Amino acid sequence: MSGNNSIMDWMTAIYKESLHSELSEGFFSSKSGVYGELCSLSMAFDVTPVQATLLSIIVMSPVSDLKSICYHTGCLLSDLLARKDDFIYLVNRGLIIQSRSIIIDANFKIAPEAMERWIDNLPYECRMDARKVYDDMICSLESKFSALEHGTTDAAGLKQTVISYLDMYHDSYLTDKLYTIWGDPYKSWSELSVVLYMFLVLNSTDDSLTDIEVCKMLFDTESDENVSKTVAILNDLEVKGYIEYTRGVGFLKLKEEYVELLSFRNHSKGDDDVDAHADAFDQTGSGQAVIADGTCVLIHNETIREKQLFFNRSECESLDELRMLFSTDKFNEVIGRMRKKGMRTGFNCLLYGAPGTGKTEFVNQLARTSGRPIVKADFSELRNRCVGESEKAIRKIFAVYRDMTEKLEVIPILLLNECDGLLGKRVDVIDSTDQLNNACQAIMLEELENLNGICICTTNMPQKMDEAFDRRFLYKIEFHNPDESTRREIWHSLRPELSNNDLSVLAGNYRLSGGQIENVVRKMEIYNIIHGVEHTTLDTIKSRCEKEINSYNKHSLSENRIGFN
């Protein structure tokens, strides 16, 4: 980013516009004079527009406390206190520093390391203190549950508190664990609230908890209808294995495994700063970090061996555009402009074509030249997993990628290899295989839609791709088998000793892919080493080419099939 697109320019514009704005709804609307800057700053730091405004004011103000912020904006102190959670979020993210624990008496300043980065127009990679986030959430919910018991708030207030924490702390230890349990806590906030309530009450006192107390917590009043709803929720929680529920007596107990899950008792101080999935990697001596269960690997770009690639002219223009886009300078500039215009900053690319045409190797070389690590997953390996495990594996791959984008200095490339079985048209559910296929596709569509980063999918069979996937890919590049001119270049790069006549014969008579030509050359080298052969004749190379073609034809599929079978 540069010029008017710099971080400090965004903050300056927001600070000036916020003067006497009262932080009204109009200030944050699309008609605002700094709407573009708000969107850009929000996306750059993963904060809300309100939090982006507070950041800008704190950066630009000589003194930043609640009273000075109120004076600048014209906002009432009570209104600013209602935004206490926004200040807490910025503190827990490490973006600002709070001088005192009581917010109304505190001064705020930008973390020095963050300011240094922003002055240089560089992003500041910060990480939440999981323990602080957890303690803050528990204290707030404990207060809310207490207010419910004393009748000073209602269930709607509880729901808003739970959801606001899910929104604000979506990268924290606790909510990551909640996603592990529920999949999507937003859709089952009542179950989530019950378990949190039981955790807080039953682990702070020796009192028992009854279904009637839970009913009052959820619905305020003890009507027959609300009791029935509560019993249904508790029954469902028992079936799912979260609680032990004694019907008739009404005594409730939270399963010990979830008591441990929701506590920090098994987490040492050194674990607080670890990303949710960082411990899933086992470092190896090969320059790769491998997921413990083999779902995917992290490939460091400096370990990728340089390899010369040759493509047809029809493909070169699109591939060159990707090379330019993902170079560090251009990528940052593109991201900045798109954020300023409120556009999505995720780049999904589809590389498709026959096997051996260089799709995967192109991604490797793209990562090497752009200095980007690769998070690589082969979807063909997920097909044989049990029902339910494939969906979890897909979720895990994208979760790991999100962790890596936070942990690494540059945005890595997520390479989803051999996606043939995942991009096909969704079908009517007839059996468990169809259900699994559709479930995996739904997860994949959702993850691609919400991606912030670079995702490149490869497939050999795009003919039956679902239209929903087609819309998700910004770039779709077909890799053709090399034409005669390109085959000649490939042969020459691998066997430079060949004469022009030999090159013409091999390139003109044998329509091999780049991968097949490389196989032929490697097999000849192996044969020559084993048998002590010093020179390879043209007839020998031609014989090897014919064997390669026959081998490919024998093992190729009789029809193109797509399905997660």
Question: Do 118 and 139 sit in the same domain of this protein?
Answer: no
Question: Do 31 and 144 sit in the same domain of this protein?
Answer: no
Q: Is residue 94 part of a domain?
A: yes
Question: Do 374 and 459 sit in the same domain of this protein?
Answer: yes
Q: Is residue 113 part of a domain?
A: yes
Please state the domain count of the chain. Answer: 4
Question: Do 466 and 372 sit in the same domain of this protein?
Answer: yes
Where would I find the H helices in 183-266?
Answer: 189-202, 211-219, 224-239, 256-261
Residue 539 has pLDDT above 80, yes or no: yes
CA distance 144 to 139: 9
Residues 15-59: pLDDT tens digits? 999 999 999 988 988 888 998 888 888 877 878 889 899 999 999
Question: Do 177 and 237 sit in the same domain of this protein?
Answer: yes
Question: Do 7 and 155 sit in the same domain of this protein?
Answer: no
Secondary structure (3-state) at 331: helix
CA distance 314 to 72: 58
Q: How confident is the model at residue 178 (pLDDT cuts 50, 70, 90)?
A: low
Whole-model pTM?
A: 0.50
CA distance 469 to 448: 9
Nearest Cα neighbor of 221 from 159, 151, 142, 141 is 151
How many other C-beta atoms can be found within 10 angstroms of the C-beta atom of residue 336? Answer: 23
Q: Is residue 396 part of a domain?
A: yes
Residue 242 has pLDDT above 60, yes or no: yes
Question: Do 166 and 230 sit in the same domain of this protein?
Answer: yes
How many other C-beta atoms can be found within 10 angstroms of the C-beta atom of residue 546? Answer: 13
Q: What is the CATH number of the domain that holds 28?
A: 1.10.10.10
pLDDT for 284 equals 38
CA distance 44 to 117: 13
Q: Estimate to the nearest angstrom the gap between the alpha carbon of 123 and the chain centroid.
A: 18
Q: What is the CATH number of the domain that holds 321?
A: 3.40.50.300
Task: Give the start-end residues of each E strand in 200-346.
Answer: 243-245, 252-254, 281-283, 288-291, 297-299
Strands 454-459 and 413-417: parallel
Q: Is residue 272 part of a domain?
A: no
Q: Is residue 69 part of a domain?
A: yes
pLDDT for 276 equals 39
Domain that holds residue 210: 131-261
Residue 340 has pLDDT above 70, yes or no: yes
343 or 481: which carries more pLDDT confidence?
Answer: 481
Question: Do 168 and 313 sit in the same domain of this protein?
Answer: no
Question: Do 326 and 468 sit in the same domain of this protein?
Answer: yes
Domain boundary (67, 93, 127) is at 127
Q: Is residue 266 part of a domain?
A: no
Q: How high is the mean pLDDT of the chain?
A: 75
Give the phi and the psi of residue 155 in degrees, each rounded to 5: -65, -30
Nearest Cα neighbor of 192 from 163, 172, 215 is 163
Question: Do 162 and 29 sit in the same domain of this protein?
Answer: no
Residue 102 has pLDDT above 60, yes or no: yes
Domain boundary (99, 127, 155) is at 127
pLDDT for 273 equals 33
Secondary structure (3-state) at 21: coil
Terminal-to-terminal C-alpha distance of the chain: 46
Residues 386-442: pLDDT tens digits? 445 677 788 888 888 888 888 888 999 999 988 877 776 665 545 445 566 677 787
pLDDT for 165 equals 57
Identify the DSSP state of 131: H
Domain boundary (82, 100, 127) is at 127
Question: Do 181 and 211 sit in the same domain of this protein?
Answer: yes
Residues 284-323: pLDDT tens digits? 334 455 553 557 788 888 888 888 899 998 899 899 999 9
Question: Do 301 and 433 sit in the same domain of this protein?
Answer: yes
Q: Is residue 82 part of a domain?
A: yes
